[in-house]
Amino acid sequence: MNTSHLLQVAYQRLDSGHFDGAIDSLRQLLADDPECSEAHALLALCLMNMRRLHAARHEAALALAMDPALPLAHYAAAHTAMASRQFKIAEQHLLQLLDMEPTDPRYYRSLADLFQLTGRLSQSQPLLEKALELEPDAAANLVAMAEYHLACGHWEQAEGFARQALQADPGHAAAVIVLGRLRLREGDVNGAREHAIWALQENANNVSALSLLTAVKARSNLFMGFWWRFNSWLTERSTTRAIILLLAMFVVYRVTVITVTAQGYPGAAEVIDWLWLGFVLYTFTAPQIFKRAMEKELTQVKLSREF
């Protein structure tokens, strides 16, 4: 096979989520042409999706060293930097990409993702609107807007954009996952599970779908269910408002203890102290349990026959 054909196959497999197949094609290509910077950049993206971050960073660095003017090399470097939480480096690459190719909506979406990861939610909206302006009917742009509105708590807008994305691409997993998260928020556990399985049938390695499936299990679990509801309620607020709410809860707790003690009920005050300690321990351990459940799901990348 020639280089262009192997690259085309790798792109197709990457787009469809078949990362192992894409990696096989790229390794075959690089065996014949080890200096192909585009192949190294694509390999970096595949490895990142396979959660092999160290190898992905290495391939992105190779691609960038071989061809500093290649947009795909900067794109791979930006995304591996984001995955490594090197946000300043990622932002530099993305801003450079926008200078190089200002009409590519992928770069606007990626910068919007970075802004959301770094708590600049409001700054991401103009970037997503620009991406949508460039390609109004692209499912990727529509679902990015759906995810933005989901993060903002604009439930109707999130559902509207997700459904538009599915009209543009009926198999778009990210749109399905947005709808699944909306169903879970509404308390429709079965509907959320069906959406997660639908997305996993498209790609059993889909981390967002596995996260949704884990959230469904947490929501259905008596121990985890309360934490999941509390965490969801808290994350629907802005960071500042969430901090204020947590501080207010602590102030109410301390005022209650002091008041009860002053009224001559030290036993009741001690009970309140223990209840507060239990709440703190619960909210500390529950996320760790959720994380372990998520990691367990990530190791089970093949669906069982019942799905």
Q: What is the pLDDT of residue 303?
A: 40
pLDDT at 295: 58
SS3 45: helix
Q: What is the pLDDT of residue 301?
A: 43
Residue range 199-231, pLDDT digits in tens:
877 766 677 777 787 777 766 665 555 655 666
Question: What pLDDT, on a 0 to 100 scale, did the predictor assign at position 168?
Answer: 93
Q: Could you tell me if 218 and 228 are in contact, meaning their C-beta atoms sit under 8 angstroms apart?
A: yes
Residue 209: name the closest of 231, 164, 187, 176 by CA: 176
Q: Distance between CA 174 and CA 156 in Å, rounded?
A: 17
How many other CB atoms are there within 10 angstroms of residue 31's CB atom? Answer: 8
CATH no. of 1-83: 1.25.40.10
Query: What is the DSSP-derived secondary structure letter of residue 306?
Result: T
Straight-line distance from the first to the last Cα atom of the chain, in angstroms, rounded to the nearest whole number: 37
Given a contact cutoff of 8 angstroms between Cβ atoms, the answer to whether 101 and 71 are in contact is yes
Helix ranges restricted to H, 33-70 = 37-49, 53-66
Does the pTM surpass 0.85? The reply is: no
pLDDT score of 44:
94
Which residue in the block uniquely carries the two structure tokens 């799905």? 307
- What secondary structure letter does DSSP report for 35? T
Identify whether the C-beta of residue 176 lies closer than 8 Å to the C-beta of residue 198. Answer: yes
Phi/psi-derived region of residue 264, left when phi > 0, alpha when psi is between -120 and 50, beta in every other case? left
- Inter-helix orientation angle 139-152/173-185, to 10°: 20
Q: How far apart are CA 172 and CA 96, in angstroms?
A: 29
Distances (CA, A) of 102 to 60, 71, 134, 144, 169: 22, 11, 10, 18, 25
- Whole-angstrom CA distances from 143 to 12, 135, 245 are 20, 12, 31
Q: Which residue stretches of the chain have pLDDT < 50?
A: 298, 301-307
Confidence (pLDDT) at 185: 84
Q: Where are the chain's structural domains?
A: 1-83
